[in-house]
Every structure is written in structure tokens, then in C-alpha cells.
């Protein structure tokens, strides 16, 4: 399925123009319909609705393409975004990493995380002004949901350099260290863990089309190592899954996705593991 409908949420702040501009470029490249949504909290509806509607129209005219649906709603910000996305059957939600208190409901970091983890479709969180994605880091484990997220990232950015990255975890490493295991022994365990997982990660890479340009398998804590890898490779976009089939995997991957969202210096694409698959056309 190609990318048909994109929903961009804005709080009308200066920072929101980055997300709106990104959404407009993606919608134009994929020949998709763009909807721009702003949400007014119920407590402010009577005071700012008319002014917010005028401001929203000016905001969209300055930062988006001509063919766009403009929607102003009243309600809780994250819930309203999710409902609008479901009602319009969008394939991608685009948000700013954080907003500023403006005339409408602010897109705070908590709002962005709530939408990213609850959305039925992929969510792109924008924090950089780069015009095009040049290097994309695909953060994976060896699950089906991770493969889906990686393929979605490749399909969305076919002209970029793609780095498939996996961080291998030594289970109980901290307890082993506390029990007296030395650094050299821990390093051997990390090397063994990396050697064990590498064939599965390479097999995952071989299933992707086109195959990523590079495969990196390291060891450590994914929550810390993945944002560091984004910086190391100067990636413009990091792609991660938000959850998988089992309760344990949802908690683990959710924690990793949350860390990437919070600390990666790039834009972040979060792809929900249980969501229906939507494959955008090549740019």
C-alpha cells in the first residue's frame, strides 16, 4: 500500500513549522493527501478559537503546499490527534519533537510520546531542519516487527544511505559485575553475544529491499547505545519499532523507542509492531 494520507499536527509554534514542512515535502513526493490539524483545549475554546483558526490558516499557507485540508478541533491534544488519524485512515502522522505554549494545545514531549506509542500507523517526530534525509539509522532486534519498521524506513527514504543497527544485550550484566566478574570476562561475554546474534541480524538485512548499505552489531544498553550510534553516523533519521507481540517485548521495545525519541539528535520514525502494514511508494 502506498503512502496516501499524511496527518501533520501543529501547535502553531515556531518549532512546529519544521514538522509541517517535512510533512508537506513527504506528501508532495509521494503524491499523498496532507491534512494539517491543530487542537484547542476545551478550557480555551471560547477565548481563542476564532483567532486560532485565522492563525492556523496563515501558518499552513506559509509552510505547507497549496493542496491541503486544514482542521481545527477542540479536545485533549493526543487523543484528538489519534482519533483524527483513525477517522481519516492516515498512513503517517507527523509531529514536532516538542512545541511551545501557543494559541492551541502545546505538543509537549509527553504528547508526542503518547501519540507515537498509541498510534495505529507510523509516527514521524521531527526536530531537524534538514531538507532531505541523507543517512538513516534502522534500529532493530531480530523480530518481525523490527523488520517491518526497517522496511518502512527504507521505503520512506529510498535515496538515503541506510545503516541497520542492532545492540546486543548481555542478560544480567550488571548482576554479573556486582558478583565480581571482571571487565575482561564481561567483554568476552559481549563478544560471544554479538557473534551469536550477528547471523540473525545479517539474515534480517538480506530480507530487506533494497539491502541496507551497512550492518552494525554492537553490545551495550540499547537505550544508551542507539542515540550514540545516531550521532556517530550523523544520521538525519532514526527508525525504530514501538512494540511486538508479547507483553515483555512491548515493554522492552517501548523503552528503547522512548529513549530514541528523547535522546536521538535526529528525526525519529516510530513504527508500531502490531499496526497494519502500509508501504509508501519510492520517492
Domains in the chain, CATH or no CATH each: 5-126 (3.40.50.620), 135-271 (3.40.50.620)
How many Cα atoms are found within 13 Å in the side-chain-facing hemisphere of 30? 26
- Cell output for 151: 522496511
- Indicate if the pLDDT at residue 271 is higher than 80: yes
Average pLDDT over every residue of 53-59: 78
Count the neighbouring beta carbons within 10 Å of the beta carbon of residue 236. Answer: 21
The answer to which of 40-44, 93-97, 210-214 has the lowest mean pLDDT is: 40-44
pLDDT band at 173 (very low <50, low <70, confident <90, very high): low
- Indicate if the pLDDT at residue 143 is higher than 50: yes
Average pLDDT over every residue of 35-49: 76
Between 66 and 177, the more confident residue is 66
pTM of the model: 0.84
Q: Which residues contact 174 (CB under 8 A, 6 or more apart)?
A: none
Rounded Cα–Cα distance for residues 264 and 259 (Å): 8
- Indicate if the pLDDT at residue 274 is higher than 70: no
User: Where are the strands (E) in the chain, listed by range?
Assistant: 5-9, 33-40, 68-74, 92-96, 123-126, 135-139, 161-168, 214-219, 237-241, 267-271
Amino acid at each position: 500500500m502506498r503512502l496516501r494520507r499524511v496527518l501533520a499536527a501543529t501547535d502553531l509554534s515556531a518549532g512546529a513549522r519544521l514538522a509541517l514542512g517535512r510533512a508537506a515535502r513527504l506528501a508532495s513526493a509521494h503524491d499523498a493527501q496532507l491534512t494539517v490539524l491543530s487542537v484547542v483545549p476545551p478550557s480555551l475554546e471560547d477565548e481563542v478559537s476564532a483567532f486560532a483558526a485565522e492563525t492556523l490558516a496563515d501558518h499552513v499557507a506559509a509552510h505547507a503546499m497549496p493542496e491541503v485540508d486544514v482542521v481545527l478541533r477542540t479536545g485533549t491534544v493526543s487523543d484528538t490527534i489519534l482519533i483524527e488519524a483513525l477517522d481519516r485512515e492516515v498512513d503517517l502522522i507527523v509531529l514536532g519533537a516538542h512545541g511551545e505554549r501557543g494559541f492551541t494545545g502545546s505538543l509537549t514531549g509527553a504528547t508526542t510520546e503518547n501519540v507515537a506509542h498509541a498510534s495505529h500507523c507510523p509516527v514521524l517526530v521531527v526536530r531537524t531542519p534538514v531538507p532531505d534525509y541523507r543517512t538513516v539509522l534502522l534500529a532493530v532486534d531480530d523480530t518481525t516487527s523490527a523488520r517491518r519498521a526497517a522496511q518502512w524506513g527504507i521505503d520512506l527514504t529510498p535515496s538515503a544511505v541506510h545503516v541497520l543497527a542492532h545492540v546486543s544485550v548481555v542478560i544480567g550484566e550488571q548482576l554479573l559485575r556486582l558478583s565480581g566478574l571482571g571487565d575482561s570476562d564481561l567483554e568476552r561475554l559481549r563478544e560471544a553475544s554479538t557473534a551469536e546474534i550477528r547471523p540473525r541480524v545479517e539474515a534480517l538485512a538480506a530480507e530487506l529491499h533494497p539491502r541496507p548499505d551497512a550492518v552494525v552489531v554492537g553490545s551495550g544498553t540499547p537505550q544508551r547505545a542507539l542515540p550514540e550510534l545516531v550521532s556517530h553516523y550523523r544520521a538525519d533519521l532514526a527508525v525504530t519499532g514501538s512494540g511486538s507481540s508479547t507483553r515483555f517485548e512491548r515493554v522492552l521495545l517501548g523503552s528503547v523507542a522512548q529513549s530514541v525519541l528523547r535522546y536521538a539528535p535526529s528525526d525519529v520514525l516510530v513504527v508500531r509492531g502490531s499496526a497494519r502494514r502500509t508501504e509508501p511508494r519510492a520517492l
